[in-house]
Structure 1
């Protein structure tokens, strides 16, 4: 795993463990042996460490974290490097992350290509840099920079790393040649002052103040996460304790985090995000199907969703035709797109060069004929099946035969949309989440006709525009919104039965969600929920009245109708489930008028209110979704629990430290979950979302491990 070679008087160690040259056990063994070999060779006067292929070692092998540890230890190997009397140079290209950066910090010198990136991303999987990273980085950068990098996990480019003193020099060209050249230039220089363990932290006298500032920041910015807090404590130890004592403190914090439930959940989320790209449908999969070339695209509809989708495509370098039927709407859409991109430039999130190119790629139009030669169309009009079918029929006649036709629908059956065309194999769903330019989830939907090549293409486009794409089979509501449905329904029922908006919201916020369902409702607008509910009733031929209790035999709540009639539409009107200081305000204040409206609504509906415990609130909100999640797996709408969990993490801001609702269910115990679902089904027989999933029942009875929860599991039990 480490290729050893000698070039004159310089020994070169090339870590060879693709794809990212992670420091696995075999790499550690190879590096340890290479160090011994170079020390014994009297002709070798200097050592260069680099990575073979596309990157310098980019961290430890996360898969080994849950396995028994094997010697040699990472820090032991690195300390042997630092103790050599021969200068050791880290020649960095690609990414130098986590354990890779720790390795570099034990080397006497560090050089990097101008395009290289360095960083400590461990916090993103619930850990800290545990091989002396928290103790060594501050000795180069000072506490502020070290705390910022380690608590955020952000990567920095080589020029910034040079500014902070993390690297000594930048280079261009071949990595090995640059490393050898630099090694020769320092071959006879003393090494004592090049060992970071001998240095002190330059702003150590401000350790308490800086640590307090960052502690306040991470508790606010990363609410509920344990790792950022321990990162601050460990970095502070570099300034307040001798080096060896600081290492002991780091080790204690690391041990605590490795054994924590949060880190296990975050590591699960890390692997799940990669697993969802390994899709499979009848006729093909991610390995056999090749994406079609996409250069030009079109977005139909210049509203909130259409403009957000256009921004995603433009930022990725795609040409985008933005189509609207109304000139004023089109102009407003173009203005919105420019405003979003300009704002992103001001915040430093989008480079000016990217924004300038995006401006040339946007093609506003009111003519369908302009879309004749595009490679991909994404329709983003409002949720009306007849309208969408009309648009797809028109596109089918106008666009070239190879054009893919996609809908941003959040719930309508892709099969029914596709039958409006003669190219069902090239029709799919691409469901973006609002705001589309910000939210990372992209729910891609395939119908019974969608080809593997079409799926491969939309998954590839999703990757290129920076989304986490999850593939699901078409059904009513797909994955995310279908599973979210019981959550929203139960939230309303809880209000009717005795809870307050703030009680329900606080339960979910204490669990780790950034906002509870009623604050979220106020943010999006209560009129949206009301209109969706009304359209659903109309589709079933039923009139929804203020006092309706059942819809086609299903229990419903019409509280949104009550709020709508009173003009309480949320933040935009300054009042919704909460009161706000002004229309558009953000500070949510409990409102007694809301409670009076709820009580009056319940009295007219004949509902007796009662005291409801926080545990019941939690179970009814979360367990109802989990039950629906197992039905989604049972029906093959989603292939794995990872698909569901990633959808919730990136679509609904479920906290990563809980791993997703399905992972959460596994941690609680499927038998416990199943029993509580049966209890609620018995007590609320008119709510179909409490009918227990057959898959959940069999998994709980047979104690099937989580890695076997997949579509088709039910038939094997």
Structure 2
């Protein structure tokens, strides 16, 4: 029989209601039932004069059970439980430790008093899922800290620490020692002073600064995170009700607004990503212990392969001290992993170490790290000019530039220096992992680890496996991703893997075709930025360097072909040494020391010439066509990637594009966006452009999977569900 979700204890006139629902004490039905029953017991016990609500484990409560949002909620509801707590005839004290998020904070607000440990953090992150706090948060919080502070806290979604919470008035006391002992003393003082229940709903709302100007200032403060979003307007609506109505009216209004927020496409998209990010590490055929055994030892072995999971990974060697290599080294050091940074040239090492030092200095200057912590992290990185220094590493990552022969030589040499249990990885964005591994001893231990720049900041890590890759190697790579606090998405071995395949053969390819047909680089960029991307394709190309893509295509053309025109503009710019920001000229021109992209007539003339050579008639193209065509090609290539097995799930593609390529998060990723448009509509629009552009060979041929799903009235989400059930 499962243990009770809420434990009940009594000590010296104080009843303790302790939520024990691992792993993070979500307020699911068993917890709600347990709280209701325990409260009844405490209220019926004449010896109990005060009640404490606390939680077992490292977390107070991560909030409501998101899995209940799309169906009927079992009784009692959170709202009913919180109403009972607030109506208690005996004072109730919330004892908060660790993280209190969403419904966890709403639970604390429904109590009459709140105490917390010094390391506690309290936040209402519902907006990150396109939701408003729906269990009294928009009505109780402004009654405790004021409407303006409540708006700031809810719209930011970020937790505040105990000191800040105390200053806001969100908590009544910080407990320095044992939390339950501190809560006991707090209750005993209440009892001694004749303290009574203090219902939050009975308090007045301080609406100072909650006016048009104040609201606009707060929205401006969070404008970057709120770009393209609408949930903040529902938050304002609910808080406005709190300032103008009584508590019961406010709760009823909040419930209606919360239901509206759940039904929005924005919330559906964000919740889709929430679950997708947690699903990506579930890889068929990968030994669970190898992908999950972080922070504990495992004795799992691969028969005859010499594999042993030595989790957690203790030492990583990074070969290549350039921008990517130094970023990867920083990411590992940030995660507490010892790093050996190796380069064949002293000058290269010096530049890499200087870049690492500069990154840490910047973090200190921004207040993200203390000097002491930055120094500790920097000390985890040692340097070497000798490849032999990689011999003792658990994982070796080569991060030299995209040259197949060079990477093969390095991996082959490192394979001969390391035992079969060492994971060998290539930080490549497009090259074949099977080809890279072919000359190596034990090629089954080679994976691709496609980090995204800057590697110590970006959350995405594409883990690429060849047909011969040992599942244990994939599991080890997933272990590393978790240690680095990155989202590891497993991809198959094909040109560009998931993200770059879709970008190069879909989105960016179409962007160049639009330019050849008459749109300027700034018009295409502006259209895609208006859609929600932080930067348009031409600006991104200039930031990374046009030569990077050209080198990628040189390697591609050794193995595959693409019909002309295929990045003829970018390759021409590279040939002209217009490499982007680093040469002050690319698709745009730049002034020294500035990053503002300025239109350049030289580029306009170049594009006109390239179009004329190909007989492409130029015309005016509006932004809606630019957006639609770029997205259609992105979706179509995504369907090809999915159908070929390079991506396991459509949801994996969404995670890759949101976290690696800047697809607007509130739209859920390209495949979710396609579903939201309707695949029948997507196919019709694809066929429309295919009929209009007959000179494009098979370029506008719809992917077989897209065509099949659309004609059957199914979606990519349906395809994912059917695959997971089989």
2:234 aligned with 1:214, yes or no? Answer: no
Q: Please report the TM-score for the alignment, with normalisation by the length of structure 1.
A: 0.91
The whole-number CA distance in structure 1 between the counterparts of 2:437 and 2:572 is: 37
Matches within 5 A, 1:449-468: 449-468=468-487
SS at match of 2:184: helix
Which residue is 2:462 aligned to?
A: 443
2:60 aligned with 1:83, yes or no? Answer: no
Which residue is 1:477 aligned to?
A: 496
Shift in CA distance, 22/674, structure 1 to aligned 2, threshold 3 Å: same
Matches within 5 A, 1:594-605: 594-605=603-614
The whole-number CA distance in structure 1 between the counterparts of 2:348 and 2:462 is: 27
CA-CA distance at 1:246 after TM superposition = 4.5
Shift in CA distance, 196/109, structure 1 to aligned 2, threshold 3 Å: same
2:127 aligned with 1:127, yes or no? Answer: no
Shift in CA distance, 205/187, structure 1 to aligned 2, threshold 3 Å: same
- Aligned partners of 1:634 and 1:714 also within 8 Å: no
- Aligned partners of 2:316 and 2:337 also within 8 Å: yes
CA-CA distance at 1:83 after TM superposition = 1.8
Moved more, 390-399 or 38-47: 38-47
Shift in CA distance, 658/190, structure 1 to aligned 2, threshold 3 Å: farther
Which residue is 1:526 aligned to?
A: 546
Match of 1:428 among 438, 443, 447: 447
CA-CA distance at 1:132 after TM superposition = 2.4
SS at match of 1:556: coil
- Aligned partners of 2:402 and 2:552 also within 8 Å: no
Matches within 5 A, 1:471-620: 471-485=490-504, 486-537=506-557, 539=558, 553-580=563-590, 582-620=591-629
SS at match of 1:89: strand
2:637 aligned with 1:628, yes or no? Answer: yes
SS at match of 1:377: strand
- Aligned partners of 1:299 and 1:321 also within 8 Å: yes
CA-CA distance at 1:622 after TM superposition = 1.2
The whole-number CA distance in structure 1 between the counterparts of 2:224 and 2:381 is: 38
Q: C-alpha offsets along residues 626-652 of structure 1, whole Å, 9 cap, x if unaligned?
A: 122122222221111111100001001
- Aligned partners of 1:143 and 1:210 also within 8 Å: no
Match of 1:269 among 261, 273, 285: 273
2:212 aligned with 1:194, yes or no? Answer: no
- Aligned partners of 2:86 and 2:199 also within 8 Å: yes
Match of 2:403 among 374, 384, 396: 384
Shift in CA distance, 205/681, structure 1 to aligned 2, threshold 3 Å: closer
Shift in CA distance, 711/292, structure 1 to aligned 2, threshold 3 Å: farther
Which residue is 2:682 aligned to?
A: 673
Shift in CA distance, 133/712, structure 1 to aligned 2, threshold 3 Å: closer
Q: C-alpha offsets along residues 139-184 of structure 1, whole Å, 9 cap, x if unaligned?
A: 4334554333211211223233233332222335655444334323
The whole-number CA distance in structure 2 between the counterparts of 1:275 and 1:445 is: 17
CA-CA distance at 1:397 after TM superposition = 1.6
Which residue is 1:367 aligned to?
A: 386
Match of 2:310 among 282, 288, 292: 292
Shift in CA distance, 248/506, structure 1 to aligned 2, threshold 3 Å: farther
2:647 aligned with 1:647, yes or no? Answer: no
Which residue is 1:7 aligned to?
A: 11
CA-CA distance at 1:508 after TM superposition = 1.7
CA-CA distance at 1:224 after TM superposition = 0.3
- Aligned partners of 1:218 and 1:229 also within 8 Å: no
Tell me, which stretches of 5 or more residues in structure 2 are unaligned? 294-299, 301-307
How well do the aligned residues superpose, as a CA RMSD in angstroms?
2.8
CA-CA distance at 1:275 after TM superposition = 0.8
Q: C-alpha offsets along residues 424-467 of structure 1, whole Å, 9 cap, x if unaligned?
A: 23211111011111111100112223223222221111111121
User: Structure 1: which 4+ aligned runs deviate by more than 6 Å?
Assistant: 282-285, 287-290
CA-CA distance at 1:339 after TM superposition = 0.7
The whole-number CA distance in structure 1 between the counterparts of 2:618 and 2:97 is: 64
- Aligned partners of 1:20 and 1:56 also within 8 Å: yes
Which residue is 1:546 aligned to?
A: none
- Aligned partners of 2:130 and 2:231 also within 8 Å: yes
The whole-number CA distance in structure 2 between the counterparts of 1:225 and 1:468 is: 24
Tell me, which stretches of 5 or more residues in structure 1 are unaligned? 542-550
Moved more, 560-569 or 254-263: 560-569
Which residue is 2:47 aligned to?
A: 43
Which residue is 2:704 aligned to?
A: 694
The whole-number CA distance in structure 2 between the counterparts of 1:668 and 1:97 is: 33
The whole-number CA distance in structure 2 between the counterparts of 1:476 and 1:715 is: 29
CA-CA distance at 1:559 after TM superposition = 1.4
The whole-number CA distance in structure 1 between the counterparts of 2:284 and 2:361 is: 39
Which residue is 2:163 aligned to?
A: 159
Moved more, 67-76 or 120-129: 67-76
